[in-house]
Amino acid sequence: MKKTLVIKIGSSTLTTSESSIDYAYLSRLVDQIARVKALGWQPIIVTSAAIACGLEALGIEKRPSDMPSLQAAASVGQSVLSTAYAEAFKPYNIMTSVVLLTRRDTADRSAYLHARDTFSRLLELDVVPVVNENDTVSVEQIRFGDNDTLAALVACLVDADLMVILSDIDGLYDANPHHVPTAKLISRVEKIDASVMSVAGEAGTTVGSGGMITKIEAARVLMVAGIPMVICNGRTPNALIDIAGGKAVGTRFVAASKPHEITPKKLWIALGDSARGALMVDAGAKTALIAKGSSLLPVGISGVEGSFEAGDIVDIKDGSGHLFARGKVSASSDELQLAQGLSQDVLKANRLLAGLSHKPVIHRDELVVFE
């Protein structure tokens, strides 16, 4: 039985220091992908660098800051990028396709499922999908913001067996290696808690839009979904082949046994839509959500962040600000500002808030716990 492998390639890995495609590297990488495919894996590529390619083709040396120019560059660059992949795979008689996504395509559950069906059919046809965010039409409200999140979404969509992020860093360190010479590589992560989040730095290059923090956030969801993930230096010789063969390369985030059932709907909640706000909960509520698989009630809420409506996705944080869950709320931020910390009996006696006395703020069937 074939296994599915999602490969995310960052801009800084795929391009030269001048932000143009490194064709020699792309050739070596495609050779690895072809060899992995011959071993029975079904690869899906999530690529960055469309804007960088477009700026080069247009002769624009300095990255513009206005959205129309960036989207125009993405439009030109996407053609350059897709052609580069098609030509690189041509000697191996492997066909590629282009899949462009925005959050709008996945925030709606029906569209999410249609996207899943498209990927399934492409793999059945023995095609290697090349996925990118549709920067030509994306705006801030519907952008993934980084392709680490997009890659994790694709991995969940296809129920991948493994996801690999090819980066410009060897993996996750116990401190920022750019600032701490003695920082040590963490080869294996079995749980993402506040200590792991604290060692994730910010974006390290001007070429890409992600950073280690977005990679950790992607791994957090994948581990819940039962999908292992590896972060490694994309320019390490034969890295992809070694990883597919089970060798230790970079940092491996182990997919532990799932404490609660992770349904496709929950995965959609975890990654398919951006959070509109956050709820802070007390220690008792956190324990109930993690250990007991409980729903979230107003009495356990200690704070409300942002402005959101019933049906929106929100983050759930503990007293220290650590994000440990995400879910779909049944009430607005205004209602929850008034109802936070109140028991069901108190809510029932309040004519304005009585509606919250007989339903949870987030039902456990619409809640994803990351720990």
Q: What is the pLDDT of residues 32-75, one digit of tens each?
A: 999 999 999 999 999 988 888 888 888 888 888 888 888 888 88
Please check the confidence at residue 242 and state whether its pLDDT lies above 90.
Answer: yes
Q: What is the pLDDT of residues 332-354, one digit of tens each?
A: 999 999 999 999 999 999 988 98
Q: How confident is the model at residue 19 (pLDDT cuts 50, 70, 90)?
A: low
> What pLDDT shows up at residue 273?
64
Give pTM, 2 decimals: 0.82
User: What are φ and ψ of residue 275, in 5° steps?
Assistant: -70, 140
Q: How confident is the model at residue 198 (pLDDT cuts 50, 70, 90)?
A: confident
Please check the confidence at residue 205 and state whether its pLDDT lies above 50.
Answer: no
What is the percent of the chain with per-residue pLDDT over 90, rounded to a whole number?
49
Q: What domains does the chain contain, in order, with CATH numbers?
A: 3-253 (3.40.1160.10), 275-369 (2.30.130.10)
Beta bridge partners of 132: 100
Q: What is the pLDDT of residues 93-118, one digit of tens each?
A: 999 999 988 766 666 777 778 888 99
Range 134-145 average pLDDT = 50
Range 297-317 average pLDDT = 95
Q: How far apart are CA 148 and CA 139, in angstroms?
A: 18
Please check the confidence at residue 202 and state whether its pLDDT lies above 70.
Answer: no
Between these two residues, 19 and 241, which has the higher pLDDT value? 241
> What pLDDT shows up at residue 203?
37
Nearest to 318 by CA among 344, 289, 297, 348: 289
Range 206-215 average pLDDT = 59
> What pLDDT shows up at residue 137?
55
Contacts 24+ apart (CB under 8 A), 105-109: 106/153, 106/268, 106/271, 106/272, 106/273, 107/142, 107/272, 107/273, 107/274, 109/265, 109/268, 109/272
Please check the confidence at residue 224 and state whether its pLDDT lies above 90.
Answer: no
> What pLDDT shows up at residue 174?
85
| Sheet strands (E) in 255-322 | 277-281, 301-306, 313-317
Output the six-digit token pair for 268.
């959609």
